[in-house]
Amino acid sequence: MGLLRIRAWLAAILLILSAALATAQDAAPAIDAPSANDLHEFTRLLADDRIQNWLQEQANDAEAAAPQNIKSIREQLAEATDHVGARVADLSAAWASFSEAPEVIAQKWREQLTPDRRVRSLTFALIFLFFGAGLEWLSRQYTNPLRRRIEFSTFKRPRERLFAALTRTALAFVGLTMFAIGSIGAFSTIDWPPLLRTLILAALVGILIVRAINSLTKLFLAPRVPQLRLLPVGDKMARVTGQAIMLFSAMVVFAVSLIDVFDQLTTSDVKGGMAPETLSVAVLFAVLLLVAALLLIAICFGQARKHSDALSDRSMARWRIHLSLLSALVFVTWLFDVRALMWTVLSIGLAIPILKLLRAWTDMTFDQVIADFRAKAENATPPAPSEPADTTIEEDELVEPAPIVDPYETYRPIAQRLIRFAMFIALGLTLALIWNAGIFENSENPTVAQRLFSILIDSAAAVLIADLIWTWGKSSIDRRLAAYKPPEDGQAPGPEARMATLLPLLRVVLMVTLLSMVVMSVLSSMGVNIAPILAGASVMGIAIGFGAQSLVKDVVSGIFFLVDDAFRVGEYVEIDQLRGTVENISIRSLQIRHHRGAVHTLPFGELKSMTNYSRDWVIMKLEFRVPFDTDLQLVKKIVKKVGAELKANEHYGDSILDTLKSQGVRRMEEFNMVVGVKFMTRPGEQWLVRRDAYQKVRDAFEANGIRMAERNVKVEIAGDQPLTEEERKAVTAAAQDAITQPVAPGVVPDEP
Amino acid sequence: MNQAKGPRSGLIVRTMRIWSGLFLLIFVTSHLLNLSLGVISLEAMDAARPYLSEIWASPMLGPLLLSALVIHFFLGLWAIYRRPTLRTNPQDLVQLLSGVIVVPLLATHAIGVASLKINGVTFDYAAATRFFWLAQPQIGLLQVVLLSVVWVHGCAGLFTWLRSKESMRNMLGWIYPIAVAVPVLALLGFAEAGRGVLVDAQAAQRASTQAYSAPTVTADAPRPAAPAVQRVAYQTVKTATSQVIWWSLALAALTFVARSVKLALQPTQVVLLKHGDAQPITTQSNLSILDSFKQNHQPHASLCEGRGRCGTCAVRIVSSEFPLPEPTALEMKTLRRIGAAEDVRLACQLTPSGGFLEVDPLYPADYSFKDRDFEQPDPVTAPAEAPA
């Protein structure tokens, strides 16, 4: 060995030397070749022991200090092949020693343990088990009332049900922990010889593991308490499946612990790997486990075919083949000792049905919730129509009940994505752990697998998170949109109408943002430098921003106008000098139609302020001019009567908030008094009411002998002689002048 | 209330079973307390022996103990014979099986110790520990099994009895830890004493090999100083022990056979049983209503596990196709105690003869006497709030 290494080192040195020489020759070709004396000296030095030792140490140090050389794929493959080859050789050795295995193991067993000792250790193990069982029994006595309460009460809501099932399992695990503390705690207080330690510990831990698996199975299957069952299976099916899982896990745990003990018995003389005898027993156990797994799968699916109709025969057959194939694959990969592959196959193979089951479970839960909600809503509806309403409408409702919109349906995709997301993350982490990819380490020189894993996991996480957010955003937006009912013709839209404008925009923005973020993060995890892309995008963004400044201003201020609820479609508004009914709201502009038909389009950015005439109520004031000799009490009475009539009108009576009433004399004018009246209506109804009010008041005045004041001029003429025709004309002309003088402007017409 | 008409035998059997069982349990507890002194030392065990263990072998208590054991064993067999179904709750099953195997397990220990006593050999704890840990570790293992089985059986009986007593509802929480502490301490004492003996034996062995440097020490452990024990009619003791074991097992087997023969010969009718607003269940006329509920996984309260003590399984008979059998003295007593109305019966004692039967439970399925502490405020506060 030493000689070989020295030779290698010599070769290396010579190489370096020759390289140095070559460069030296390039640089300075004038240097002479070494003299014979020098060479003699060199060989003498090399032959020296001290030098040799030094070189060897250096070589060893260098080897130790050399970084874990990155193996090429070919080398890795060769290694794996070698590993499998060695395993095959082991297997054939195991096959050869199969017949001797029991003898060898029994002999080792006898060698290490005397019969007395065996019995005594069994005594100790029993005592420990009793301790554990006693503690568990004690804890159970205190938790039993709660457990019984959970098992016997009925839970209406799935959340309660889930909570109850979890509590029940938690109670079981509390008992289990007490058992572990009692048994393993007592066990660990005593010093044991190694073999006994392995043996008893294996027994105790095996019992614990099987019981823990049993508790977990009970959480999902709950064979005895159907209402706490999380999986959608029947009683019989749950019992059979639970027993099958329990049996199989017990077998696996038993086999693994037994092989462990055998391994420890036999490995004292064999270095590394299992002794062939143990391996042969292990293979035997594995074959038995495979057969058991296939049998149990067959039995479970046979039961499922008989007792459950949740799955079609074809999909059942598919799952059966899937699970059988999975068992076989796991067996084969175990046989060839390709552990990483085995765990990968196992985790992926189990993740698929688990995903399906979880999906079924979410579906079932949502179905239950929705059914409960419906039942509750249907129970709640009968008292609702008891308020005064038309009987015909009530009958109509009874004939065709309004569809009950449950609030849960839109959460279903979110829940499903969330569960899928969690499953994928768990699976990814498991795989990373299996392949020991070291994604959690920050290595300087990542291997290909590490790189690949980190890229895959980064991208998957980005995509999954984005998908989750998108599903959440989309379904909540869609839910809001679905709840929005477009207004019927002739009715003003409610405040939720503006959401119908905003939400689609929000959805598009969300999608674009998420998409670009995902693309960026995937690219960056792949090692693409995204800084230039970001820079380019931001330059483009700035350019577009400048170019479309007013557009952006319009959109942004539009969003705020919509958020402020300043106007709705169908409302009568005034903006600067423009008036009209809001006809159309887009994200950039507002269209209003003037009452004479013209349509104005106003970008939101232009809006400084606006006046809305259609909110809540409108007060209208009217004036009547009556002569000075009018009886004001009578006028008040008449107005009151007219107000009552207006209020009783079947068409607009309901819209009058505050009916017509007299406000008395508002002012005195030259020739008459001005009597003010006012009323308050809902926006849009005031014109009709005003028309009728004028008409009715006029008619009532006439009926009661009250005249409207007219303009007249009194002419006083001195003397008592009758006027001649010319004089009369002159007087009339003078009076006409007085009448035609401009009067103060009256009420500004405010009607559209 | 009419006079109790039915046979009073059920009541007598029940009373005898519980009192003989309690007597045996007191003995076991005292014996285990003695054993638990092994945590301190072997000497402590032996010092307490006359007061905690030997007192039970005194001329007065000894026969009493033996007769209690025999009575309890035969009453247990009688209960198995009477039992229409074995598929009830796990605790009952554990109690039944442990009761059957207690006598075979006990035989070796009891007969061995008794024969030693008769022959006047002192068998103190020092000797016993050496015997159980060094000479015959199999028998030592058997003692651990025996202790566990006896204690489980005793606790199952005791707590079923205590749970059915309303006055004990607040005491139970304090008794449970004692019930765990006693056997655990006893086992600890047993193990600790055994470890001491083992260490001594190893030291002695090492000393002997060093002193005599004898290479041919074949014995894996030095024999305890108990050759006298084995000389005393060892063969007789052995035969007596195995006879007791086989006879008790044969009796138990006979009981099971007789029970199955009785069940096979008994004509049964189909009973359609409706519980509250649950789906009707189909069952047999030889099962009590409570057993039918349990077999069909219908939750129903029963604190005493069908012994007719607690009265929590009481049901109101809503309708019955055929007349129901009259209540026995045992059922009558409990019904009278809980102040039941005419149409109320105990589900655990009522065995309908067939046809359709509809009953209403009086108590919720998860009922325990502890609930009465929480129930009482309700009727008081409810009317007080109503006027307001």
A706: how many CB neighbours lie within 10 A of its CB?
21
pLDDT tens-place string over residues A653-707? 888 888 888 988 988 887 788 999 999 998 888 888 999 999 999 999 999 888 8
Q: Does B297 touch chain A (CB under 8 A)?
A: yes
Mean pLDDT value across residues A413-425: 83
Residue pLDDT tens, chain B, 388 long: 344 444 677 888 888 999 999 999 999 999 999 999 988 888 888 888 888 888 888 888 889 999 999 999 999 999 888 888 877 778 888 888 899 999 899 988 888 888 888 887 777 888 888 888 888 888 888 999 999 999 999 998 998 888 888 888 888 889 999 999 999 999 989 988 888 888 888 888 888 776 554 444 344 444 444 444 455 567 888 888 899 999 999 999 999 999 999 888 888 888 888 887 778 888 888 888 888 888 887 888 888 888 888 888 888 888 888 888 888 888 888 888 888 888 888 888 888 887 888 888 888 887 877 777 665 443 333 333 333 3
For residues B345 and B278, the answer to whether their CB atoms sit within 8 Å is no
What are A332's two structure tokens? 């084969």
pLDDT of A209: 92
> Terminus-to-terminus CA distance in chain A, angstroms?
110
Which residue in B has a C-alpha nearest to residue A113's C-alpha? Answer: B220
Query: What contacts 24+ positions apart, CB below 8 Å, involve B31-35?
Result: B31/B56, B32/B147, B32/B151, B32/B182, B32/B183, B32/B185, B32/B186, B33/B182, B33/B185, B33/B186, B35/B186, B35/B189, B35/B190
Which stretches within chain B are classed as H helix? 9-36, 42-52, 61-82, 90-118, 125-130, 137-163, 172-212, 227-231, 234-265, 289-295, 329-337, 371-375, 377-385
Cβ under 8 Å to B: A residues 189-218: 190
Chain A residues with CB-CB distance to B299 below 8 A: 151-152
pLDDT of B313: 87
- CA A102 to chain CA mean position, Å: 57
Q: Which residue has the higher pLDDT, A55 or A166?
A: A166
Q: Does B87 touch chain A (CB under 8 A)?
A: no
pLDDT at A469 over 90: no
A114, A117, A120: best to mutate for the B interface, most B CBs within 10 A: A120
Mean pLDDT value across residues A312-336: 87
pLDDT at A454 over 70: yes
Whole-number Å distance between alpha carbons of A618 and A615: 8
pLDDT of B353: 81
Q: Is A229 left (phi over 0), alpha (psi -120 to 50) or beta?
A: beta
Q: Say whether A138 and B180 touch across the interface (CB within 8 A).
A: yes
Cα of B184 to nearest chain A Cα, Å: 6
Average pLDDT, chain A: 79
| Alpha-carbon distances of A647 from A618, A657, A661, B372, rounded to whole Å | 16, 9, 11, 65
B187, B217, B298: best to mutate for the A interface, most A CBs within 10 A: B187
Instruction: Give the list of residues 6+ apart from residue B76 with CB closer than 8 angstroms, or none.
Output: B17, B96, B99, B100
| Overall size of chain B counted in residues | 388
CA dihedral A252, A258, A259, A265 (to 10 degrees): 170
pLDDT tens-place string over residues A196-245? 788 888 888 899 999 999 998 888 888 877 778 877 777 788 888 888 98
Whole-number Å distance between alpha carbons of A384 and A377: 10
pLDDT at A19 over 50: no
Chain B residues with CB-CB distance to A126 below 8 A: 141, 144-145, 148
For residues B185 and B36, the answer to whether their CB atoms sit within 8 Å is yes
pLDDT of A743: 56
Q: Does B41 touch chain A (CB under 8 A)?
A: no
What are B291's two structure tokens? 């057993």
Counted across chains A and B, CB pairs separated by less than 8 A come out at 68
Beta pairing class for B270-275 and B355-361: parallel
Q: Which residue has the higher pLDDT, B193 or A448?
A: B193
| Overall size of chain A counted in residues | 752
Prediction pTM value: 0.66
Annotate A646-664 with DSSP letters as a single string: HHT-TTTGGGEEEEEEEEE
Chain A residues with CB-CB distance to B134 below 8 A: 116
pLDDT at A115 over 90: no
Strand partners of residue A578: A575
pLDDT of B290: 87
Q: What is the SS3 assignment for B88?
A: coil
Q: Radius of gyration (Cα) for chain B, nearest Å? A: 27
Backbone angles phi, psi at A630, to 5 degrees: -75, 145
Which stretches within B302-350 are classed as H helix? 329-337
pLDDT at A376 over 50: yes
Q: Say whether A116 and B183 touch across the interface (CB within 8 A).
A: no
DSSP H or E stretch at residue A584 = strand A578-585
| Alpha-carbon distances of A485 from A406, A481, A561, A582, rounded to whole Å | 16, 8, 21, 19
Q: Say whether A123 and B137 touch across the interface (CB within 8 A).
A: yes
Which residue in A has a C-alpha nearest to residue B194's C-alpha? Answer: A120
What are A501's two structure tokens? 């404008």
A110, A112, A114, A116: best to mutate for the B interface, most B CBs within 10 A: A116
A113, A117, A123: best to mutate for the B interface, most B CBs within 10 A: A123
Q: Say whether A142 and B183 touch across the interface (CB within 8 A).
A: no
pLDDT of B221: 40
pLDDT of A515: 92
Instruction: Report how many helices (DSSP H) and strands (DSSP E) chain A contains, helices first.
Output: 21, 8
Q: Which residue has the higher pLDDT, A96 or A378?
A: A96
pLDDT of A272: 57
Q: Does B148 touch chain A (CB under 8 A)?
A: yes
